[in-house]
Amino acid sequence: MKIKLATLSIIVTFISILSCKNEAQKTEIDNSILTDTITKEDTIQNNPSANFTFDIDNYEISTSDWGEFPFFELPEGTKYLNPPKIKNFDVLYIPINGNLVPMEGKVFRAYVKSENGNNDFSYTYFTKSMNDFIISSGGHLVSDTEITKEAYEANKSDMIYLGEDASIGYAGQKVKTYLIRRMDASPIYIVITGDNNSAYLNILEIKEFEQTIKPTSASQIEKDLTNNGKSILNINFDTNKATLKADGKSAVHEITLALKNNPALKISINGHTDNAGIESNNMQLSKNRALTVYNEVVSQGISKDRLQHFGFGSQKPIAENTSEEGKAKNRRVELIKI
């Protein structure tokens, strides 16, 4: 099955006011206005990359067989200085025309040195070898310029991998960025910088995040509330919104079952987010997500008198926000026995 190649862009999202529908006797949430990331003012003043749009549809699809990740061998006479760092899912800020564009997927980073260990590494030889191979195989050189100081300053706090082996993203780094579009697979980005001592090689295969956390069952919710006074749930919502995904609705149904099995049980539904973006937005998003769960439980027959709902933004993390796994744990709903 062919994977649809979507236009990659960074969008500025406006924040507006939520409306109440009294006739429905519950608060409805306008999901089109919620975001974990940036406001218009922050975009214009602090992050020049946020207005930058990169359209991969302008580049032809490669007909070459690129094989398996990481897709190619090193040029003759070169080697990896240390074992490459490979992450099955992470974010990589791709340098394009001085900007830094965050993209997610499988990541490969490594230093490249001379094979014999002497100081005879040639950056010109390495980059010419890579360029000729990529271009002849249907890839495209989409950027060959320095990362601007403005782009670095705007994104450095989110590039938590800076300082690790072969990390790219510093101001002033002269970076070559290549794109490979594939017919039946997701795009590949190859990013190269360095000098006559070594080269930095970064590879990103675009990949969707796959949630591996399973909903907690009604019986487990009951057990957690009885023994610990709270139950931690990872309920899936649409990205940056307060609308439940299908498996999120299943998780909320388990909450309802637990409450129906224990008619005297009362709970507070507390929403939490990771620390990405602006805290005021995260706070509002967490409140709206808690409200969504509250409304869903009420719609399934649970009295409002047994429920409360609150949002805490990113103020109460249960894991470090330095990895996607940690952030996923912090994006949660907690049920507190009252």
Q: Enumerate the domain spans of the chain.
A: 57-206, 211-337
d(CA 223, CA 221): 5
pLDDT over 50 (residue 29): no
**Global confidence as pTM:** 0.60
Q: Between residues 44 and 313, which one has the greater pLDDT?
A: 313
Check: CB of residue 332 under 8 Å from CB of residue 315. Answer: no
Q: Which pLDDT band, with edges at 50, 70 and 90, does 48 fall under?
A: low
Closest CA to 48 of 104, 100, 3: 100
pLDDT at 207 over 80: yes
pLDDT at residue 14, as a whole number? 33
Long-range Cβ contact pairs of 118-122 (< 8 A, separation 24 or more): 119/197, 121/78, 121/196, 121/197, 121/198, 121/199, 122/196
Residue 49: pLDDT band with limits 50, 70, 90: low
With 60 as the cut, is the pLDDT of residue 257 above it?
yes
pLDDT at 119: 81
Share of the chain above pLDDT 70, in %: 84
Tell which residue, 39, 68, 55, has the closest CA to residue 7: 55
* pLDDT attached to residue 23: 39
**pLDDT of amino acid 39:** 31
Asked which of 185-189, 208-212, 221-225 is least confident by mean pLDDT, the reply is 208-212
Query: Where would I find the H helices in 28-186?
Result: 40-46, 123-136, 149-155
Q: What's the pLDDT at 244? A: 94
Helices vs strands, H then E, count in the chain? 7, 14
pLDDT of residue 20: 39
- Asked whether 270 and 338 are in contact (CB, 8 A), the reply is no
Residue 223 neighbours by CB under 8 Å, 6+ apart:
none
Is the confidence at residue 336, as pLDDT, over 70? yes
Instruction: Tell me the backbone φ, ψ of residue 268, rounded to 5 degrees.
Output: -105, 130
Q: Reduced to 3 states, what is the DSSP secondary structure of residue 280? A: helix
Please give the C-alpha separations between residue 254 and each of 21, 54, 257, 304, in angstroms, as whole numbers.
27, 42, 5, 17
For position 324, what pLDDT does the model report?
84
For the segment(s) 211-337, the CATH number from 2.60.40.1180, 3.40.50.300, 3.30.1330.60, 3.30.70.1380 is 3.30.1330.60
C-alpha 275/C-alpha 322 separation (Å) is 10
Instruction: Pick the range with the lowest mean pLDDT from 53-57, 79-83, 162-166.
Output: 53-57
**What is the pLDDT, as a whole number, of residue 300?**
97
**Angular region, 229: left φ>0, alpha ψ -120 to 50, beta rest:** left
With tokens 């509002």, the residue in question is 284
pLDDT tens per residue across span 61-96: 999 999 999 999 999 999 999 999 999 999 999 999
* 246-253: average pLDDT: 91
Confidence at residue 50, expressed as pLDDT on a 0 to 100 scale? 62
Per DSSP, 145 falls in state E
Residues 6+ apart with CB under 8 A from 82: 110, 111, 165
304, two tokens: 């409002």
**Closest CA relative to residue 88, chosen from 100, 104, 65, 71:** 104
Q: Given a cut of 50, is residue 101 above it in pLDDT?
A: yes
Q: Across all residues in the chain, what is the average pLDDT?
A: 86
Q: Is the pLDDT of residue 265 over 70?
A: yes
Residue 215 has pLDDT above 80, yes or no: no
**Crossing angle for the helix pair 246-261 and 218-228, to the nearest 10 degrees:** 60
141, 191 Cβ separation under 8 angstroms: no
For the chain, give the number of residues.
Answer: 338
Predicted pLDDT of residue 19: 40
- Per-residue pLDDT, averaged over 261-283, amounts to 95
Per-residue pLDDT band for 42 (boundaries 50, 70, 90) equals very low
